[in-house]
Amino acid sequence: MEGKKKNISMAVIKRLPKYQRYLGELLKNDVDRISSKELSERIGFTASQIRQDLNCFGDFGQQGYGYNVKDLYNEINGILGLTGEYKTIIIGAGNIGQAIANYTRFERLGFSLNGIFDTNPKLVGMKIRDVEIDDIDNLGDYLAHNEIDIAIICVPRNSAQRVSNILVEGGVKGIWNFAPVDLIVPKDVTVENVHLSESLMTLSYLLKNKDLEDQE
Amino acid sequence: MEGKKKNISMAVIKRLPKYQRYLGELLKNDVDRISSKELSERIGFTASQIRQDLNCFGDFGQQGYGYNVKDLYNEINGILGLTGEYKTIIIGAGNIGQAIANYTRFERLGFSLNGIFDTNPKLVGMKIRDVEIDDIDNLGDYLAHNEIDIAIICVPRNSAQRVSNILVEGGVKGIWNFAPVDLIVPKDVTVENVHLSESLMTLSYLLKNKDLEDQE
């Protein structure tokens, strides 16, 4: 199975969280097993797409039985790296930063909130869900004493690269970036962007060109 | 040019907002023209990719001159449908809803905030940036009297489909969906999802499999 992993495309990887979400819902509803056809009807991918995707990671389906929901859910969690705990910090306690800090769903997925940093003296010292907002000037020192897996950048675009540099220097290997800039980081650091404006512009484009997209 | 548009792939469309962002920055810095090579160095796509992308929409480049930044910026804004105004409302004034409501960048792109709706009596009547939060029970009636282009769904997953149905019935054609569900809507309604958990899971996967992704 390890050997198989190497050829997984980003397209498959991007679909995995959707499998995780749907299987999680099936589990909650006490569904034990499901065929690729039934899963297809729920999730909206074709049955052959589903079989092909899940085959990338090993043999989960059984002819005439379908998939064992719990096994498949656990396996996908494992593949996604959701079996352990990630220590996260948030940089920037503005609107988006506070929203992320308050979003308990992430904690349930294994992402714990360990620190929040901001420059604004009015925010420093305040608490969000038991985590006190610290001055961003202390970030470098904090990272020297705390191993953090993921930093969530929610600062304005002009400060994002500077913050990113401090994080990288402090040994952070994963950055979830909400600032509308493309960060420059060393090769061993992974950045996942959430560019909200770009998403909104895509919606705008699709609305204006609805007639052209209907064939999709 | 109209004829050309029909074959534009989603991959190109998804890159357009990035062009818009970089060209906007160039404009701010008073850059008049730029070659595909220089643009490539900034934006990170290859020069041939850039020429190919922009050719989908017409002939913007001139041999030996490069692109006129302002013309290209305006043209891309036009293609993205960013030349007019979109009337938007937010459903759900929780963490994410409030963050979006407070994000003035969207207004500058032409997305005006016209209403906010929530079920929580503690929130109803409060104001965010001069917009009073209204009771979600009034949403259907509001839509009967106001033409809204885009509704931003920020309610919990269990209420999202119900809210979506009200919006569709009220004539809304564009939905920006932050709830972690896949909405079922008629064909003439466009949904753009921002599934934050999925983005975080992708980051988790990439962190766990960094060694396998290095070739990318």
B19 interaction partners in chain A (CB closer than 8 Å)? none
**Whether B132 and B181 share a structural domain:** yes
Q: What is the CATH number of the domain that holds B106?
A: 3.40.50.720
Phi, psi for residue A130 in degrees, rounded to 5: 70, 0
As a whole number of angstroms, the distance between CA B151 and CA B164 comes to 9
Report the run of H or E that residue B135 belongs to, with start and end. Answer: strand B131-135
**Whether B175 and B92 share a structural domain:** yes
Per-residue HEC secondary structure of A159-213 comes to HHHHHHHHHHHCCCCEEEECCCCCCCCCCCCEEEECCHHHHHHHHHHHHHCHHHH
**Whether A97 and A57 share a structural domain:** no
Q: How far is A22 from chain B (nearest CA, A)?
A: 9
CA angle, residues A45, A46, A51, in degrees to nearest 5: 100
Among residues A79, A94, A120, the one where a domain terminates is A79
Among residues B55, B78, B101, the one where a domain terminates is B78
- For A183, half-sphere exposure in the C-beta direction (CA atoms, 13 angstrom radius) is 32
CA distances from B190 to A17, A198, B68, B93, B146 (A): 22, 16, 32, 22, 19
- Does residue A146 lie in a domain region? yes
B24 touches chain A (CB under 8 A): no
Would you say residue A214 has pLDDT above 90?
A: no
CA angle, residues A29, A32, A36, in degrees to nearest 5: 100
pLDDT, residue B208, reads 87
User: Following DSSP, what letter does each residue of B150-165 receive, concatenated?
Assistant: EEEE-S-HHHHHHHHH
Q: How far is B125 from chain A (nearest CA, A)?
A: 20
- Does residue A17 lie in a domain region? yes
A10 touches chain B (CB under 8 A): yes
**Whether A36 and A55 share a structural domain:** yes
Confidence of residue B11 (pLDDT cuts 50, 70, 90): confident
pLDDT, residue B216, reads 44
pLDDT tens-digit map of B90-132: 999 999 999 999 988 899 899 999 999 999 999 999 999 999 9
Percent of chain A with pLDDT over 90: 68
Mean pLDDT of chain A: 90
A44 touches chain B (CB under 8 A): yes
Domain span at residue A166 reads: 86-198
pLDDT tens-digit map of B15-24: 999 999 999 9
B147 interaction partners in chain A (CB closer than 8 Å)? none
**Whether B120 and B187 share a structural domain:** yes
- Does residue A127 lie in a domain region? yes
**Whether A68 and A106 share a structural domain:** no
- Does residue B38 lie in a domain region? yes
Mean pLDDT of chain B: 90
- Does residue A209 lie in a domain region? no
As a whole number of angstroms, the distance between CA B175 and CA B185 comes to 10
Yes or no: say if B154 and B115 are a contact pair by the CB < 8 Å rule. Answer: no
pLDDT, residue B13, reads 86
**Whether A10 and A103 share a structural domain:** no
- Which positions 102-131 of A are in contact with B (Cβ < 8 Å)? 102-103, 105-106, 109, 111
- Beta-strand pair B131-135/B127-128: antiparallel
Would you say residue A211 has pLDDT above 80?
A: no
- Does residue B214 lie in a domain region? no
pLDDT tens-digit map of A102-151: 988 899 899 999 999 999 999 999 999 999 999 999 999 999 999 999 99
Q: What is the CATH number of the domain that holds A71?
A: 1.10.10.10
pLDDT tens-digit map of B27-61: 999 999 998 889 999 998 998 899 888 887 777 76
CA distances from A189 to A146, B134, B199 (A): 17, 44, 16
pLDDT tens-digit map of B59-78: 776 667 788 899 999 989 99
As a whole number of angstroms, the distance between CA A105 and CA B195 comes to 12
Would you say residue B6 has pLDDT above 70?
A: no
A16 interaction partners in chain B (CB closer than 8 Å)? 201-202, 205
Q: How far is A137 from chain B (nearest CA, A)?
A: 25
**Whether A70 and A101 share a structural domain:** no
Give chain B's end-to-end CA distance (angstroms, integer): 35
**Whether A116 and A92 share a structural domain:** yes
**Whether B108 and B175 share a structural domain:** yes
**Whether A126 and A183 share a structural domain:** yes
Yes or no: say if B26 and B69 are a contact pair by the CB < 8 Å rule. Answer: yes
A195 touches chain B (CB under 8 A): yes
DSSP annotation of B2: H
As a whole number of angstroms, the distance between CA B44 and CA B40 comes to 5
Count CB-CB contacts under 10 A for residue B121.
8
Domain count, chain B: 2
- Does residue A50 lie in a domain region? yes
pLDDT, residue A191, reads 97
> Does A93 show up as a binding residue in the annotation?
yes
Pick out the residues of the known binding site of B. Answer: 92-97
Judged by CB atoms closer than 8 Å, whether chains meet at B190 and A210 is answered as yes
**Whether A166 and A68 share a structural domain:** no
Rg (CA), chain A: 20
Sort residue A81 into left (φ over 0), alpha (ψ -120 to 50) or beta.
left
Report the run of H or E that residue A18 belongs to, with start and end. Answer: helix A10-28
Pick from B6, B180, B198: CB nearest A212: B6
Yes or no: say if A140 and A68 are a contact pair by the CB < 8 Å rule. Answer: no
Among residues B78, B109, B126, the one where a domain terminates is B78
- Does residue B123 lie in a domain region? yes
Count CB-CB contacts under 10 A for residue A51.
17
Residue of B nearest to A93 (CA): B99
